[in-house]
Every structure is written in C-alpha cells, then in structure tokens.
C-alpha cells in the first residue's frame, strides 16, 4: 500500500470509526462504511488538510470510494 | 451559568445599537470578541470601551462580496478559531411595495440574508471540524408578522428563519446549534427619531407598553451562545414584549 493510501485509510478509520479491515480500495464511504452525506464532505475537508490540496466540488462528488480518494490524491497532491 | 470564557465570537454589525450591546454582553461573559462593522470610529470606540483584552476590530462592508468572503477567515485568524457567529448586520431600504426598486430589494437581501448565508458557510467548516459551534441569526418580528413598507426587510428576515432551520438540521449531529432571535421594537436611533404619535402607535401594539433594550436582545444571544443552550436548535426566540406570540 502506498504512503498516500495509508494516510487516506488512517483518516477514514479515524473519522468514521470503522474497522481498518473494512477500509479497502473498493469500499464506498456511504454504502460500505456507513458515512452520511455530511461525513463525505468532512472527509474531503480532512483530505484537503492532510494533503494540502484543494479539492473542487465537482471532483469531490466523484470521490465515493477509498480508491477514488487515493487515486485523486496520487494525481493531485505534491 | 452562561459562562463564555475562552469562547471566540464574531459579531457583525457591531457598530449598531444591537450589535454593540451583543458584543458587550458576550465580552462580559468572558468571550473573545471580533467586532465587525462599516464604521471604523464606532468600532474603535466600542473596542476602547471593552478594554484592551479579548477584542479585535474588523472593518467590513457586507454589501461587498469579497469583504463577506474575507470576514470569517480574518476573524478566525485574529481570534484563533471561531465558536460563536452572530449574524446581526442588517440594513433597511423601506418603500411601499409598488414603489420598491430592484436595487432596494437586492441591497436588503444581500446584506440581511445572503451575507448571513456566506458567513455561516465559512464558519461552519471550522465549527464542524472542532465539533462545536453556535450560530445566532438576528431576525425580526416583522419576519413573522410582515410590516407595510418593508417587503424586502420582512422577506430577508423570514428567509433567515428558514435558513436557520435547514442549517440547524444539517449540522445538529456535529454539535452545532443554529438559532434565530426575533427582536420586536427596540430602543435605537431609529426609534428615537419617532414622534410622540408614532411612538404611541407602536406602544399600543406592545402588551408590555415599552420598547425593548439592546441589552435584552444581547441577553438572549448570550443564552443561545452558551453551553447551556446546547439542546436548543433551529428555533426562533421572540423578544418583543408580547407584541406577537408564537
């Protein structure tokens, strides 16, 4: 697992209070990890802070799984 | 009770009678207060009165979009966070409905409603992260009763009530409360300018037979901003001497 994936996983585990085993690449924040819509907004805010990037709203909408987040951040974070 | 020691508050429209009273009361309860308004001298005078500690002056004109966007980040930087946002700034551009100009409508909606939306949006971000926040929107009794000559003002103030409820529902799970205070007739330069007959006309509608004071609105604000009011959200607290009861 890449460093970015590890950091994403840590944020998701902390924020949603889920078992680390459940935070796999294909896990959907809402369907699989029990997030509500406000949680997804907060996760995006947490990613922005951790990776020091700005995630525009249209990009944020496409981030629905752990893998989506990792992919976006691998492409866009320094 | 109602101790605000260490809490960080931003009050808009602090140069007005109501905003000044609110800033004084929050400060007296121990809060750090950022006071925002259009008139620098009035802000400085208020800051002097409150003393050197726990006061920050932020000159802002809420009719300018950029100024609205900058206000919360500026206040957060000055205060080191933001726990309490009091959307108090308001303007009037009264006119009879058929004479009301688009500019009069737009100006009142922009400052009284849209600025409150933008400031709340900016403030909620940090409040959600910190899992604590109190937003108090200062509405008006006319948002509930209507008032001839004030379609714009009444619409904006009623809009605040709807915004308050919807936002309260969205952020309640994050320990943020959002409430509205609806003052009735309050002693201010505006009511001072009334003649005896107008004054009697107003008092005739107020069972308590007197005007309210800024301090009475400020006390309601302190309550809603306090830890003790943590289970109160989405509400409108009417402070009007009984002139309209809900």
- Give the mean pLDDT of B40-61: 94
Angle between helices B102-109 and B151-171 (to 10 degrees): 30
Angle between helices A3-16 and A37-51 (to 10 degrees): 140
User: Using CA atoms in the order B18, B20, B23, B24, what is the torsion angle rounded to 10 degrees?
Assistant: -110
- Give the mean pLDDT of B33-59: 95
Question: What pLDDT, in 10s, does the model give residues B146-191?
Answer: 999 999 999 999 999 999 999 999 999 999 999 999 999 999 877 7
Domain that holds residue A17: 1-77
Task: Name A9's Cβ contacts closer than 8 Å, sequence gap at least 6.
Answer: A1, A20, A23, A66
Catalytic residue among B153, B223, B231, B246: B153
**DSSP codes, B205-219:** T-TT-S-B-HHHHHH
Chain B hits for A40, Cβ within 8 Å: none
Catalytic residue among A36, A57, A58, A68: A36
> A45: distance to nearest CA of chain B, Å?
8
Does B172 contact A at CB distance below 8 Å?
no
Neighbours of A54 (CB within 10 A): 8
Question: What pLDDT, in 10s, does the model give residues B131-141?
Answer: 999 999 999 99
The complex scores an ipTM of 0.78
Does B67 contact A at CB distance below 8 Å?
no
> B229: distance to nearest CA of chain A, Å?
23
Q: For residues B99 and B149, is the Cβ–Cβ distance under 8 A?
A: no
Give the pLDDT of residue A1. 60
> B130: distance to nearest CA of chain A, Å?
11
CATH no. for residue A8?
Answer: 1.10.1200.10
pLDDT in tens, chain A (78 residues): 689 999 999 999 999 999 999 999 999 999 999 999 899 999 999 999 999 999 999 999 999 999 999 999 999 886
Helices (H), B80-212: 102-109, 115-130, 142-145, 151-171, 189-192, 196-203
DSSP letter for B226, please. Answer: S
- Number of domains forming the structure of chain A: 1
Strand B55-59 and strand B236-239: pairing?
A: unpaired
- Chain A residues whose C-beta is within 8 A of a chain B C-beta are 36, 38, 42, 45
Is residue B153 among the annotated active site residues?
A: yes
List Cα–Cα distances, B90 to A51, B19, B79, B205, in angstroms: 39, 10, 23, 23
A38/B125 touch (CB, cutoff 8 Å), yes or no: no
- Give the mean pLDDT of B195-217: 93
- The structure's pTM equals 0.92
DSSP letter for A28, please. Answer: B
A42/B129 touch (CB, cutoff 8 Å), yes or no: yes
DSSP letter for B101, please. Answer: -
Indicate the average pLDDT of chain B: 95
- Separation between Cα atoms, residue B116 and residue B113, nearest integer Å: 5
CA-nearest residue to B131 within chain A is A42
Neighbours of B207 (CB within 10 A): 11
B174/A45 touch (CB, cutoff 8 Å), yes or no: no
Collapse the DSSP code of A68 into the 3-class scheme (helix H, G, I; strand E, B; otherwise coil) and give the result: helix
């Amino acid at each position: 697992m890449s460093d970015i994936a590890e950091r994403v996983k840590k944020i998701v585990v902390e924020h949603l209070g889920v078992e680390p085993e459940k935070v796999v690449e294909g896990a959907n924040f809402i369907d699989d990890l029990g997030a509500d819509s406000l949680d997804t907004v907060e996760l995006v805010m947490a990613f922005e802070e951790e990776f020091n990037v700005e995630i525009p709203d249209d990009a944020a909408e496409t981030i629905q799984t752990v893998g989506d987040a990792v992919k976006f951040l691998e492409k866009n974070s320094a | 009770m109602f101790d605000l020691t260490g809490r960080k508050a931003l009050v808009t429209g602090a140069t007005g009678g109501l905003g000044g009273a609110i800033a004084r009361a929050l400060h007296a309860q121990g809060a750090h207060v950022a006071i925002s308004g259009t008139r620098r001298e009035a802000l400085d005078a208020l800051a002097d009165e409150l003393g050197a500690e726990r006061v920050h002056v932020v000159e802002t004109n809420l009719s300018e979009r950029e100024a609205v966007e900058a206000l919360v980040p500026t206040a957060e930087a000055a205060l080191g966070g933001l726990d309490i946002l009091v959307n108090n700034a308001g303007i009037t551009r009264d006119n009879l409905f058929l004479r009301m100009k688009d500019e009069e409508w737009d100006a009142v909606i922009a400052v009284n409603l849209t600025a409150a939306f933008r400031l709340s949006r900016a403030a909620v971000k940090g409040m959600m992260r910190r899992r604590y926040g109190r937003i108090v929107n200062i509405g008006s009794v006319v948002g509930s009763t209507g008032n001839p000559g004030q379609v714009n003002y009444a619409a904006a103030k009623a809009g605040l009530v709807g915004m308050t409820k919807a936002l309260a529902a969205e952020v309640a799970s994050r320990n943020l409360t959002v409430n509205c205070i609806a003052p009735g007739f309050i002693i201010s330069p505006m009511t001072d300018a009334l003649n005896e007959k107008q004054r009697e006309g107003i008092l005739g509608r107020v069972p308590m037979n007197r005007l309210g004071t800024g301090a009475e609105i400020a006390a309601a604000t302190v309550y809603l901003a306090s830890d003790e009011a943590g289970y109160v959200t989405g509400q409108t607290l009417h402070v009007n001497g009984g002139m309209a009861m809900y």
